[in-house]
Structure 1
Amino acid sequence: MRFLVVEGNTRDARLAHRDSFGLTPSESYAAVLQSLEPQAVCDIAFPADEGANLPDGAGLESYDAVVLTGSHLNAYNVEPAVARQIAFARAAYASGTPFFGSCWGVQIGALAAGGDVRANPSGREIGFARRLAATDAGRSHPLLAGRPAAWDAPAVHLDAVTTLPDDVTVLASNALTPVQAAEIRHAGGTFWGVQYHPEFSLAELAAILRRYGRSMLAEGFFRTEAEHARYVDELEQLDRAPGRADLAWRHGLDAEVLDPERRLTEIRNFLDHRVKPERSRRGRA
């Protein structure tokens, strides 16, 4: 099985992530995919980079899935690094290759199909997306198979899909962000995506939140640097010892986040219900 992991960040941002966590976002996402499919081969593409070597349509068709990471960029600032990624997403749709994305991924998937993305009027959603719930359509959709009536997930985003593409089914939402999961159909291709980050371990989330300290203080998430540091430290402790009932209670987290099997539900469902059936249809199984 061959996956193409598409890095949403520019070089400086992905190296900053590697400095704080040990892997770039695309390397980390590839490791998650390989944890679910140990024999998989993961290539990484960098469409944000000028002059990046990217597969053409035939090259995209040779993959069993295309997966988009998050990004530090804002999709509504149509700078070259963003425009290249929108063009790449359109090519992924046209290839018909199963297509998935987290956070920035669902935003680019929507933009490439004619939707719009803006700063979320409700503000930043950071740490965890709380009380996610499937829509009527989402309750029977395979992307969310196995999720309970309400769940939480790691999340880091200021922006959100604000105008839907023409052919879209919203699958989940919460009080802060109306489009938390969606299926988008465009140009013969189908995209499944989520606004949250099922791929993030608590350690990776903690590394990101440590970098966001100044912003989180300015926006009122914490009153002091010491409060912020304690929060991040406790997430790191929970990552090392997910059985710490005291910390799980303090942060309001259950198995949907603490158990990797549960946290990765949407990615596993994408592989089981979208990638593998399409692979069989193409005669690759």
Structure 2
Amino acid sequence: MNSQYEDQYAWAAPPPSYHDTTSSRAGTSRPSTSGTGASYPADVKEDLQDTESTTGVPQLPGYSTYTVEFAKNSFHMDYLIKDATDKPFLYVDNKAFPAAFRGGKPDVIVHEGGDNTGPIVFASRSNVIGTCHEICFGDPALSPHYTELKLKNWVSLTTTWSPPDSEKKYKFERIYGKEAEILGGRRASMLSLKLTDVETGEIMATYLNDGFKTWRRAGTYQIKRNPEIGDEWDKFVICVCGVLTEKERRARRWRSHGCGGGGP
């Protein structure tokens, strides 16, 4: 295994092989790092003994972990995002058609809580084709301030982004192959991402796509905590990352129907 990746991701906690959480203790099995090259620092190994979440994903000191599930009874691929205690954190409402077909209304809307009735914390408008999204933190009906999120490289899903009211730059980019495997992800998945600090190169967050290994789980976020922003930082990261992975998922579905470009 490439030592560059081993050193870079020594902090990471690869998620376990997910099983139906209704099975006896299946969802609480501890992940193994054998064969991936990833390992926990000694102090982290000790801390993990008492910090395993109710979802079976180990909790790392200084990081927040969120699991992404396919929402029940959702025809349009909505997602439910839960925190380490298995409590609903965000609900992602994916509309069936892009904004261009909906009179400019957002096609991805994120709500607080466990369904689409909670307060809106984020909205996105996407095009049928192209590399640009318009994103809005908060309810666009109350403060319709959209900013542009433009992919610098569509193939690698690379884009730079600054949180609201901040000039600090971060970079999202796709991870796969050995890089994803080190984190415990799937080598072949093209829906895993990492977020790095442009100035320092530090990895601030990762999203590992579960690749339909189970009927319920879609993926896992690990986000380095930001004491100055708190939960808002986690929401920012999840929402922007979600827009990027959703664009890829829609484009893949669009191509599977024999069409080019993006789409629902």
TM-score with structure 1 setting the length: 0.28
Higher-helix-fraction structure: 1
TM-score with structure 2 setting the length: 0.29
Higher-strand-fraction structure: 2
